[in-house]
Amino acid sequence: MNADLEPTALNPDMRQWLLRGAELALRYPQTGADGPGMSVADRRAHSRDQIALLAPAPSAADKALAASELSIALPGRNLAARVFRPVGAPAARASVLLAYFHGGGWVLGDLDTHDLLCRHIALQLGCTVVSVDYRRSPEHRGAAVCADAADATTWLHQHLADFGCQKLAVGGDSAGAHLAAWGAHAQRQAARAVCAMLMLYPVARHRLDTPSYLHRGAGPGLTTDAMRWYWQQFLGPHAAPAQQDAMQDLALLWRDRAPPPSTVVAAWHDPLCDDATYLSDALAERGGTVSRYAAADMPHGFARFVGVNAQARSHLDAALALFAGQIASA
């Protein structure tokens, strides 16, 4: 992917949006009981602050989509979810259900922070999107969070007919893409396994020393220090070695069989840029069909700005067109 992704200046309008988001963080104490840095609760509140900042004015497209709440009943817990169904979508696309996992470093994010993005994806693809609100760290460590992704994907696979769908795809952004891979892996032996994966600037491995981390990890936007903190919340101090290895390197999930066709999206101005390259190469080496898309002037998280930045929307729509081709041929 790096061969196709040449350095380009960060989109100026996107830079301003990132700076406005950073200003919102200054409303909160920058040192908590655990030391320097915002508390988990304040980081989550800041993440939700950006909902109004990134929301566009209502449009006619909103009427082309039906949204409803869902509870996914799993052993010992219920996960909230939100269903987005395009009205009058072509039958071929309407037969696909996309299980979507939001980003936020396994700590932040929820159904509301990614509502706009999931609506846009549903409309662009013409398929049903189910956004899953998994348990978050540090209250629930990596094994539990990954289990939510796997079990929710299995539940949706078993209930496809209830949604009027025949094929299941998975997708996510950042840490959500990491969880989408876990969901897809859980279905690898099913009669009708996951047909495709959509991976937006994924977290693929626990390494903070790659060139993109070293040279593009100071912001604006996601930083190397922030990713170090997210990994600490996610893994915790007592993860079992076998689980920890797989959680820290997605390539280890696909040792036993080929992965589904995948669309992997990278942003140049992102410490995780090399993660996207690594994951793309690993999926291809293990026999998967990979469509790669590179957004050279975008930062990490650009898809959430789809309502306020035209260039971000253009990049996302181009990537979704690639993904649409994969689910259509699956």
Residue 257: what pLDDT?
82
CB 266 within 8 A of CB 139: no
Structure tokens at 278: 């690594």
Closest CA to 141 of 34, 243, 32: 243
Backbone angles phi, psi at 36, to 5 degrees: -60, 145
Q: What is the pLDDT of residues 154-180, one digit of tens each?
A: 999 999 999 999 999 999 999 999 999
Instruction: Give the largest Cα separation in the chain, rounded.
Output: 54
pTM strictly above 0.75: yes
Tell the burial category of 23 from Cβ atoms under 10 Å away from its Cβ (0-12, 13-18, 19+). Answer: exposed
Looking at the DSSP bridge assignments, the partners of residue 243 are: none
Domain 2-329, CATH class in plain words:
alpha beta
Per the listing, tokens 């840095």 go with 37
Give CA 178 to chain center in angstroms. Answer: 7
What is the rounded distance in angstroms from the CA atom of residue 17 to the CA atom of residue 32?
A: 26
Complete DSSP assignment for 197-265: EEEES---BS-S-SHHHHHH-S-SSS-HHHHHHHHHHHH-S---HHHHHHHHBGGGGGSSSPPPPEEEE
Other beta carbons less than 10 A from residue 120's beta carbon? 23
Query: Can you give the pLDDT of all 330 residues of the chain as single tens digits?
Result: 544 556 789 999 999 999 999 999 999 998 766 667 899 999 999 999 999 899 876 666 677 899 999 999 999 999 999 999 998 766 666 799 999 999 999 999 999 999 999 999 999 999 999 999 999 999 999 999 999 999 999 999 999 999 999 999 999 999 999 999 999 999 877 656 899 999 999 999 999 999 999 999 999 999 999 999 999 999 987 655 555 688 999 999 988 788 999 999 999 999 999 999 999 999 999 999 999 999 999 999 999 999 999 999 999 999 999 999 999 998
CB 275 within 8 A of CB 248: no
